[in-house]
Every structure is written in C-alpha cells, then in structure tokens.
Chain A
Amino acid sequence: MMNNKQPLALLYVLMAGMTLLLTPSCKKYLPDARLTLGNDAAFTTTTYEPVLGRNTLFTGNFNIGNSTLSQPLDFKIINLRRKNGDPAPELTENHPTLVWKQPYLGDEKSLEEIEAKRKIEYHPLFEIREHSGQFLVWAGANSTFVKVRPDSGYVFDVEVSNSGGRRYFRDFRLKPFRERPYEPSNLDPITGNATSPAVNASIVNNVKGVRTSRNMGGGDVAVYFNRVGTGKSLTFKFLDSAQNVIDPNLFALTKWESLVHGFKMEKTNTQVKYEVAYPIPLITYQTKYTTPSGERARAVFRYERLGFGGIREEANLGIDFSIYQEGSWEIVFQFRNESPKFNND
C-alpha cells in the first residue's frame, strides 16, 4: 500500500492545475469592468466671470448625463493661458489662502475660536475640484497681478476622465472682474471707479424725519463703507443731515450683541466698534447675524418712540452687507435729507 500522502498530493496538483488553466482562459473574453463616460456628459457653462477678492465657487456647471454611477470623474485644468497664448503663472502658482477646516456655525464665542477653524494653505488661485468639476477662485486673487476686465482674461481646457475614457473640453474662458471689497457696491464692475458716493440703506422702517415727520425710505439714508486702515475691526457711525454725529445709544433697542458676529464691542457716544473676522459674513450660511439666505450680514439698529396719538412706534434702520477685504472698516449711515426723530411726539 502506498503512503497516504500520494493520492492527496495528486488531487491538489490536479485541482490547482485545472483552476489555473481555466481561470485566465475564460476571463480573456469577458469585457472589462469599466466606468462609462457618455457623450451626454458636458459642461453647461464655458465662460466664468468671477469677482476677484472673494472666494467664488462655480457650481452646477457640469452635467454628467446618464453616467451618474460612473463617478468619481477626474477633472483637470490644462493649458491655462492668457488670451494671447502666453502662460498664466499668476493663476497656476500656489498662493497662501485661508481655508476652512472646521464648520463655522455662528455660535463662536471669540475671534480666536473662529480663527482656529481656518488656516492658511497654499493653493493656485484658480482651481477645479478634482471630482466634481466645480471651479474655485480664491480670495487671494486680485487685480494687481491677475488680468481683469476689460482685459480678455484667460483661456483654458479641461480634461475629464475615468476608467471608461477621457474627454477634453476646450476653450473655456475665465474673465474676472476686478475686486469690489464690499457689497452692496457703488463701484463700477469694469473700471472699479465709484459711480455714486454711497449706497442706500437696506432697511428703513418707521424712521421719521425731524422736520417733516415723513416716513423715511432707503434713499434717505446713505451708507458709506470706509476702509480706514489695516486690522480686523468694524465700526458703525451715524451722521445726521448736517454731518453731526448721532449718538448710537439713541438706537436703544438695538441688540448690540447680535448686530454683527463681532467681539469686544466698544460703544461710545459717537460710534460702536467690534473686533470682527473677515470676510463678513464669514460664510453664506444663515445665522442670527445674517439675512435669511445667509448671503449678507444684516446689521439692524432699532429704537422706539411714542408717535402721534401716543402710539408706540418701533423704528429700524439697517443694512444687508458684505465686506470681503480685511481691514479696519467703518460703516457710516448718513441721513441725507433730514435727521431722524428720536423724541416722542
């Protein structure tokens, strides 16, 4: 009798042999498991016109068509060049950029807490999101070194690929507008020159003029955005029609702590000042400091008085605004035609 191992060894050899023999031979004729990249996948926007000086995200610009399950796709900007064909290193080189690391929720208790949520990273000023095809323009881009309108701007191509194929989309245009440091803006988008001295207040309710007792409207209050220096502060001032300072304390009902998401409020008889983080609002997200859409900060000053017939009237004066550039900013409300009435009738 033979030893026991022999039949088992024979068995293993045969099994292994057949497995090896058959596996590659049959797989050869099977299709590869590839993703698809259909002809219906396309960019829906080819001209991008960001405003510099602020973070801009172009979204919803790529339609994947029927290949939704063939993601992730890989997107790459290639051949980024000026209109005349020169290279555009200003957009492709890395620049220090402030990026969010933690979610800003609007309930941060100090400037440090906010600043801890973002940090400096180095990014090219113009990027494409690797898998979604969204375009990013970082706030660091400004007109001192980036070609802005009325220049023709830049031209670039995009390469989209996955394991199912590779497609090139050509001659995209990037035509930036020069920065407008605050919104609402009185600056011309092309030239950057002011087209009017000030913008109007967004919210003017029940504010009555001293002289006429007329209900004032937005056009009665001019709002000036003045960058008075570097730093990180925001100051509100009020001027009457004669350019005299109005005591902010007269806006007695104002919720000073939620006026802006700022800290260390200094309220004097002439102004109220906060230490703030820029930009304002920090992100497009509804907080108690913003409009419902979250796009603009909303600063509202309130007061009450007894109106005609002894009726209590609550008056609001405010502005929905954004400030993109860091600095010591002051927002000055100036009553153009007549001063507001704080006294009771």
Chain B
Amino acid sequence: MRYLFIISALLLCCISTATIAQQKKVLIQGTVIDKKEKVSIPGVNILSGTPLASVGMTNEKGEFSVSVLPDAKLVFSYVGYTTVTQKLDGKTKLTIFMNTSASYLNETVVVGYQTKSKILSTGSSVVITGKQIQDVPAGNAMELLQGKVAGLNIQNNNGMPGMRGSINIRGLSNINVSGAGDNAFLTPTSPLFVIDGVPIDDNSSYEYGFQQAGPGISPVSLIPTEDIERIEVLKDAQATSLYGSKGAYGVILITTKRGNSKIPIVSYTSKFFMNTVPQLRKVIGGRDERMMRIDQILRYDTSYYHGLGMINNSAMLSDSLNAYWNNSTDWQSYFYRQTFNQSHNVDISGGDQLFNYKVNVGSYAENGILENTGFTRYNLNMNMQYQPSPRFKLFASINNALGKNSVGSGNGLLQTGVATGGSSSSLLPAPSQFSAVNDLLASLKTQNDNKTVNTVTTLDIQYEFIKGLRASTNFSYNFNTATEDTFRPSSLSNGGGGQSTYFNERRSTVYNRNMLSYFKTLNDKHNFTAYVFNEINMNKAKADKVRLVSNVSDYIQGPYGYGFYNSRGGTLDNFADARSVAFAGAFTYNYDQKYVIDLTYRVDGTSTNGPDAGYSKNPSIGLRWNFFKENLFKDFNWLDYASLKASYGKNINPNGSIYDVYGKYLSGPAYNNNTTVSLDKGVIPNTGLLPTTTMQLNAGFEMGIYKDRLSFTFDTYYKQVDNILRSKAVANINSFGSISTNETSLVNYGYEFSMRGRPLSEGSKVNWTLSFNGAINKDVLTHLPNGDRELIYDDGRQLILYRLGMNSLSNVLYNTKGVYATSGAVPVDPLTGLRYRTAGGNPAYFQAGDPYFTDLNGDYILDNNDLVVVGNSQPRFVGGLGSFAQYKGFSLNMNFSFTLGRDIINNALADRLQNFSNPTAPGAMVPLNEYNSWQNPGDIADFPNGLDFTRQARVQPFRYNQTLFQEDGSYLKLNDVTLSYNLNRKFTQRYGMNSLRIYGTAKNLHTFSNYSGPNPENVSALGRDTSGGYPNSRSYTLGLSVQF
C-alpha cells in the first residue's frame, strides 16, 4: 500500500527531473537477480538522480534498460529486498544481486487480526516463512516447525502419515490423564490455529489422531506446505489476547500464499521421497530363541524333572522339527516396509495491488511404513484480492482439500495389533491365511478406507469511510466431513463372518467478525490506532456410526448379513452444537515509534459456560520501549535496534460440554406402559462452569547489532493456567456420581531465547546464517480440587502424582538401585533376621539376581509404601539449531532440534522382558546378552535375572513401575538436511524456465541419544514408550522446483 504511494509519487517526480537531464545519456542494460534464489526479479523500481527519481522498471525476465547520465548512481528498490545502490563507473552492462531484506525493522507481525510492524509489537511472537520448511515432505506442516521457535515444544511422536504429534506452547496447560496402560493419555492442549484470519477447530479429537472412530485427520494436515507463505507463533497473552476463546494455549497463524507479481508465475514443485523403516525393537530369533527357552527352564525350574516335563509338554519347544514350530520369523518385518512416495504442487499466481489471485493445486501421497497405512491429500486452494481503490478491498478464498487415509487395524495413534503381533515368537510360521498370529492378518487384511473433506470459504471486505476509519467484515464457513469404512474379513472374526463399520461425521463452523478501526497520526509523532470488533463462532458436529456383523461374504459387504440382531448403529455422544460470541476492543499508541502501549479488552461468552458464570473478561496490556531510538544511543553505530517490552494479559479456552453445565436427561424404563425420562445421575450439573483461563506475564528484550549480523531475543514469562476442568467424585451419600469443576491450576514459568548470526563478513562469497533457540520451562501445580495437596492417578502401570508446588506430572516408581550380585548383599532386618522381601502372605525373599528396590520406609518389605516420586515426564529444555549456507547456486540447510531433561519410561522393553516369565508362551524374546543382565552370582548387572521364571510372578523383576525402565529421554535430532542447487539462469531460460532448482533432503536423519529404545521422541505425551507406537520414518527426498 504505502509503497504504491511512494512509487507513484516518485513516478511523478520522474517526469520533472527527466526534462533537466536530457543530454549525454547512456543506455544501461542489465538484469536484477535474487541473490539467494538466483531468480530474476520482475518489477524492480530503478531510481536515479538527485532527488531520486524513477527511471525504469525491470521486465518479466528481470531485465532492464534505462538511460541515465554516465556518472549517475542507480538505486534498485523492491518490496521485501534491501535497496541496492550501484555506481556506473562507465559500465553499461550490469547484473544486480538483491538480497531479501531480513532486516528486523521491516518485519511485520499479525496481532489481533491487524498487521503491524514488528518494532511496534508488544507481545511475544515468532515468524517462520514458508521457504524455511518447504523442502521437507510432511503430511502435517506443524512437524516441520520443530526446533524453530523458542517455546514451541513439538514432539513428533506419531509417525503415521497425516497425523501430528503433540504441540505445546510454553509448557503444560492441562494435567488430566485418561485411560490406562498404553492408552493413558494426557489431555491435549493444542494451540488455536488461525488460517488466513479464520480460527480453525483443531480440537482434541485430532490432536493425536486419536479417535475411537473417524479418520483423525486434522485440518492443519490438509494444508500443503507449498502453499504456506508464513507461520506465526503467538506466545504471550498480549499477542493472543484478541483471539479470545480458544486462544489460551497460544495461537498459530498460518497465512497462505498470495499473488504479488504483475507477470503471472507458474511454479511447480515435485518431491519424490522414500520412507525407510527406522530402527525396530530387538528380538531374538529361531534356534537361539528355542535354546534360550529350554536353557531357561532347565536352569531355573523347581526341579530338573519338572523342567523336562515342561519342555516336553510344550510342542513349541520339544517338537523342533515340526514345520509349524521350526521357523525364525521376523514378525516386525512383516508389518514394516519401505515406501516410495510423491508430492506434486502447482502454484499459479499473479496480479498486483489492484487485483491479484492465486491458485494452488497439489497432491501428496505418502504410504506409511506400516503396512496398510497411508495418507493422500488433494487440494485446490484459491484466493483473490481486489482493491479498486485504496478505500475498498475485497479478499475471497476457497480452500478445498480431500484427505484419504488408512490406519490399518489400529487407530490414529496406536497400533496395538502391531504391538502384540510384532512381539510374537519367532518360532511361529510366517504369515499365511491360517497364520498363527491373527494380529498380523488383521493388520494386513483389514480394509480401512477413510476420507476427510474440508472446505473453507472466506470473504473479507474492508472499506475506509473517511481517512483513518476503516470497517471490515470477515465471514467464513468451514465444512468438514469425515467418513471411515472399515471391513474385517470373516477369516479374522472367529467364524462370525465379516464385520463392516461405517462412520460418518460432519462438522461445520460459521465464523463472522466485524471490525471498525481508526488510525490517526498527530504531529508525525503521536500515532494512535483503535479498533473494536465482534466475533461469532458457531460449531456443529455430529457423528454416526454403524457396525454390521456377520456379513454374507467377504465380497459383498452389506447391506447386512445374518447377524442383524447384533448389528449396532447410532449417533455418537460427541454431538456438539456450540456457540461463542465475543466483543473486543484495542487501543494502541506510540510516540515516534519509541514508546508503545497496547491495551486490549475482550469479553467472551460461550455456550459451554455455565449460565451463572457469565461472560469472561480478558484484558491485556503491553508496553514497549525502543530504547535504541533514544539520543543516548545515537552514536552507537553498531546497534541496529534494541528494545525492552513487557506484557500482561488473560485468555480463555472453553472446556467441558453443555452436559457438564446443564446435566442430561436419559430415556428411562417404562412405567404404566409409558416411557419415562429421567435425570442422568452420573454428573451433577454445574451452572457455574468457567472456561480455562490463562494469565500471562511476559518480559522481553530484543537486540540486533552490526547490521543484523547478530540478533538476539530473550523472553521470560510467567503463565498461570486457572480453572482447568476436572471431574471430581462426590461422596456416595449423594445420588450423583461426580461433578465437573474448575478447581485445578498450574503455573509455567521459563525463559526463551533465540539468536541468529552471520559469522562471515558481508563481502564473503559464502552466505552463512546460524540460528539457535531454546526454551527452559518449569511447571508447578498450584491448585487441586477440594483444596487437596496431592492426587494420584493410576494408569494401571505407573502412578502419576499431582502434588502442589511440584512439577505437575510426576512419575511414581520403585527406585531400582541395581541388582543383588549375591544373596548376601540383600539387606536383612536386624531384628527378625529376615531378608528384604515382597509383601503378601507368600513373600518372595530377594536373592542374587533380583532387583534391588529402595526400601523407603525401612520395614524390609517391598510394598506401596516404598514408591518414590521420581521423574518428570515433561521436557524441561527444548530448542533447536539451524544452519543455512549458500555458495553460488548451492545451498545447504540443516536443522536440529533437541529436548533435554525429560524422563521417559520404556514400557515396550518391560513388555518384552516380561515375556521371560513364561518360557512356553509364544511371545518375542529380547536377546538378554545385549542387556547387562545378571547371569551368575557376583555379576554386577543393570538388569535383573530374567530367567528365573518360577519366582517372577512374585518378585516381578520387570515390573513397569520401576526406575530401571525410566531413562533420560534427552535427544538431539538432526531433523533434516537439504542440499539444493539453482541451475544457471541463462541455461534454464533457454528452455523457457525462469528458474530451476533441484534438491535433495534427508529427514529424521539421526537422533543422538542415550535412550535404549528405538527413539526417545516416539513416546506418548506422558513420556511412555509403548509397544503400540507408530515409529517415525527416515525419508530421503529428491525434489524439483520450476518456475515459469
């Protein structure tokens, strides 16, 4: 906008100056090229003379030809690029390289639906451009942000294509855990996604791709990375304050590309990538397995002859020549495969301020490394902007995406079939129709066909009544339909015939925002902006599911078979019809861009608020002092900018459902031949239910020195999450079971820093940028229901402790100090002379080879009283490193991410070691010699004697809840390496291409870690490495990007 004025003003000047400099002109010809991308830049404004006046512009090939005085200077200027001044020195042919302006001062941020200069923003936000992530293939763009934003903790813990891992901004926001064992999940608190100004519902059912039903494809997965212009992560409450409801966990803004070139640009990006199977879990196979089992029985059975009997009774062990048992099957290999995938994207864009457009067509197909899983995405995204006059602007977009995926026999997160099937004994025969391992057949033969269609339409109109006063309205409609068709063939159903499941879900969101804004500048120093808006959000969701059993045949899947009596169908209970309405206002003032104050106020009402709770009121205030503009720093030439800022704000996230607020009626039993309606006594209605509130304080410091060669950002924050919803059991004297209340609170505080530097001098031929960011976060639980000081959650394997004043989620385990080398090393009760033993009527006295658990209360009995609170499942320090180096046409980009200080529990290893408790059961065995396990008296070992199976039920040496399986989950991951080459432009232009870039990318290349399992990142949000997890694959990409 502003540039348009400048350009036109300069053009006017041009006419007047041109008349003076009529004589002795020389013709200068040349090309303007983007230094980084090695592509020509059309439309570059060329200025010359004193005062500067426009003398020309580059054409669509980036070429120019201007007539100027021979001693003139040429100034090349283009939006988004650093202005270049070139002396002629008698030259008539010029090649001008322009650098994209990375200058901080020119960067903009979007806060509260308004674009503002970064230097005037008081909140904490980070911008990632689409270019930084586009070379890496990903089903979900979010996984590529890992390690790039300080304070954004992304753990890509789900390798299933199209699903996304856990995303947390500034630590934990909820402590509730549901489920048990491998299915224990932390309630997700994913940030709000705002795509092109429209908040998108990316609620809990997509967070982990974990749905009992449905494809689980998140709307964010349906955006192609190639279409992303930039992603902005808003962290503190000032930045997120105007996003109101749902903004409490942070906001991620995604802006898709727009047309901005007068000459239409067609760019085509293609990626071919190969996903390889990562490190799998180690097992022992074939004869080794049989001999190990036999040896185990003979050495440790109660008597030699009982052992012989046991071996002879087990056909698996004794009948070694039977073809059924005489195998060495690597079960994991049948589940996993190497896949070849591709992605294509065509982007057609063009236009100028008056009218611009973009069409993005893409397809992305990724087959999962697990058989029978995969994700395919087709999209057609279009937008256009029409601005006939500076006072009127219309923007419209329609984004269509179709996602097809298959989750095999599992769900979006867990592949329990793979977990149990993959841990079968290698002695069993390889898969066939009559396979011994049904889980494998289920995984291979289950037909799972899911489809997600997402359509987002947006219309945004702005009109400026009088100068400075602008009205705008934004309307969007988002429609999402998801279907899942699953068919289990009859061979998997124990003779019950095939089983078909049909799932159909529809979600729709209507969103409208109307805004009135006013901008005023007084005396060139006092700048005011004020705006008010209202926002309406209507969400509807309904899902139906039908399950037909006993299909007639595997070829005719319906309409129904002979099992109609057992067939089921209906609407699922996640039916939703939620509304929210908000009114908000903001006022911003800055004095000469030196002192900035932002005030916002937002009032939110949601239909899941209790009627007694009313509207929630969320104020925020932000201050910024750009102290480098003070006179004191005037002579500090090395200082580009330096600012201090501070903010305070509140934000909400609605939680619970209307049933928590108003209760529920159920159809009751018949009375006098009439049906009755009765109150659901499970949950007491709580009409005072509040949304979750976060209050955040933020203080930051930003500085850039030596012409942006080194820039530095530091933020420290205090984030208090209050009113977390938690179900509370009520005393059984009431007729109700529980009540949902907002009594839980926690606090996160921490530090974030990021640094970017160019170690080489500006004149160097190599352009090298290094960046580093990190965030230290500490969470403290501050309130629990009923004023309790601590609560315990039992997930069936480990206890999770919530204790005030501590980290919110603590593991509760037996502390394994080691393994008794000899029986004499077992502690002995000085009074009774009895050895340390297990609890119960028939205790096992510890002996050589048993694990040494700390006897916390010193009673020489191992029981619940000896559990210790040890370990924090949440990462304490996360961050990333990046390096970008460019030399001529070559560039090398590397990204690392790290997580330090996290305790993870290797349940998968425990699962496998527990198989030793029954040597005749057909489960997979780990090669014990790879673990430092106790074998003979006197051995100093880490792992207890696994072979003594007769005592294992009582000693439980491989119990899940012990520190033996809790390991340090710190890791440093080389996320991706991209080597790319821009072909010589002259060469490509010969073939009609403006630019051609080829590149190779390796993703998930290596994880440096001391963790004993396959991948310390591939663990649940509670830090549990479960057998059923979907491993992350390593992928190698060959990419091509052409621009016409």
Contacts and interface: CB of A to CB of B under 8 A. Distances in A.
A285 B833 contact: yes
A131 B858 contact: yes
A129 interface: yes
Contact of A11 (B712, B803, B805, B832): B712
B57 interface: no
B856 A71 contact: yes
B961 to A, nearest CB: 12
Contacts, number: 134
Interface string A23-50: 1001100111110100000000000000
B44 to A, nearest CB: 32
B835 interface: yes
Interface in B716-761: 716, 718, 747, 749, 751, 753
Interface in A91-119: 99-105, 118
Given A1-B638, A30-B780, A136 B831 contact: yes
Contacts of A130: 858
B867 interface: yes
Contact of A103 (B637, B638, B833): B833
A284 interface: yes
B832 A55 contact: yes
A22 B857 contact: no
A150 interface: no
B699 A22 contact: yes
Residue among B710, B832, B857, B859 facing the most chain A CB atoms (10 A cut-off): B857
B302 to A, nearest CB: 15
A70 B716 CA distance: 33
B72 interface: no
Residue among B701, B799, B867 facing the most chain A CB atoms (10 A cut-off): B701
A285 B834 contact: yes
A103 B705 contact: no
Nearest to B714: A15
A185 to B, nearest CB: 20
Interface residues of A, number: 52
B824 A14 contact: no
Contacts of B697: 26
A311 interface: no
B638 A2 contact: yes
Contact of B751 (A19, A55, A103, A284): A19
A167 to B, nearest CB: 15
A71 B803 contact: no
A55 B867 contact: no
Contacts of A79: none
A11 B714 CA distance: 10
A99 B714 contact: no
B455 to A, nearest CB: 45
A22 B831 contact: no
Given A72-B857, A73-B857, A132 B865 contact: yes
Contact of B833 (A6, A59, A118, A121): A118
A103 B834 CA distance: 6
Contacts of A283: 832-834
Contact of A132 (B751, B833, B858): B858
Interface string B797-835: 001010111100000100000000001101011111111
Given A32-B805, A55-B831, A69-B790, A18 B636 contact: no
A78 interface: no
A89 interface: no
A68 B747 CA distance: 25
B703 interface: yes
Contacts of B385: none
A131 B856 contact: yes
Contacts of A138: 831
Nearest to B824: A102
B865 A71 contact: yes
A105 B825 CA distance: 13
A64 interface: yes
A335 B716 CA distance: 90
Contact of B716 (A22, A59, A67, A99): A22
Residue among B699, B710, B830 facing the most chain A CB atoms (10 A cut-off): B830
B716 A284 contact: no
B322 interface: no
Contacts of A129: 857-859
B831 A103 contact: no
Interface in A129-154: 129-132, 134, 136, 138
Contact of B823 (A6, A23, A57, A105): A105
Contacts of B833: 100, 103-104, 118, 282-283, 285
B789 A7 contact: no
A7 to B, nearest CB: 5
Residue among A67, A72, A101, A103 facing the most chain B CB atoms (10 A cut-off): A103
Given A2-B636, A22-B716, A69 B867 contact: yes
B469 interface: no
A101 B828 contact: yes
A70 B857 contact: no
A64 B864 CA distance: 11
A283 B835 CA distance: 10
A164 interface: yes
A336 to B, nearest CB: 36
B639 interface: yes
Contacts of B858: 72, 129-132
Contact of A7 (B639, B716, B804, B830): B639
Contacts of B856: 71-72, 131
A128 to B, nearest CB: 11
A70 B790 contact: yes
B824 A34 contact: no
Nearest to A36: B789
A134 B830 CA distance: 13
Contacts of B805: 30-34
A131 B782 CA distance: 28
A75 B62 CA distance: 85
A98 B636 CA distance: 80
Given A2-B636, A70-B790, A103 B747 contact: no
Contacts of B834: 103, 283-285
B177 interface: no
B760 to A, nearest CB: 16
B830 A121 contact: yes
Nearest to B810: A69
Interface in B692-708: 697, 699, 701, 703, 705
Contacts of A6: 638
B894 interface: no
Nearest to B792: A69
A70 B804 CA distance: 12
A102 to B, nearest CB: 6
A241 to B, nearest CB: 40
Given A36-B790, A164-B789, A283-B833, A69 B869 contact: yes
Interface in A163-209: 164
B876 to A, nearest CB: 15
A10 B751 CA distance: 18
A100 B829 contact: yes
Interface of A: 1-2, 6-7, 10-11, 14-15, 18-19, 22-23, 26-27, 30-34, 36, 55, 57, 59, 64, 67-73, 99-105, 118, 121, 129-132, 134, 136, 138, 164, 282-285
25 contacts: A1-B637, A1-B638, A6-B638, A14-B714, A15-B701, A22-B716, A26-B718, A26-B747, A26-B749, A27-B749, A30-B805, A36-B790, A67-B790, A68-B792, A68-B864, A69-B792, A69-B799, A99-B831, A100-B831, A103-B823, A103-B834, A104-B833, A134-B859, A138-B831, A284-B832
Given A22-B716, A36-B803, A68-B867, 18 more contacts: A7-B638, A15-B701, A15-B714, A26-B697, A30-B782, A34-B789, A34-B804, A34-B805, A69-B799, A69-B803, A72-B856, A103-B826, A103-B845, A129-B857, A129-B858, A132-B865, A164-B789, A282-B833
Q: Pick the 5 closest A-B CB pairs, nearest first.
A: A283-B833, A33-B805, A99-B830, A132-B859, A100-B833
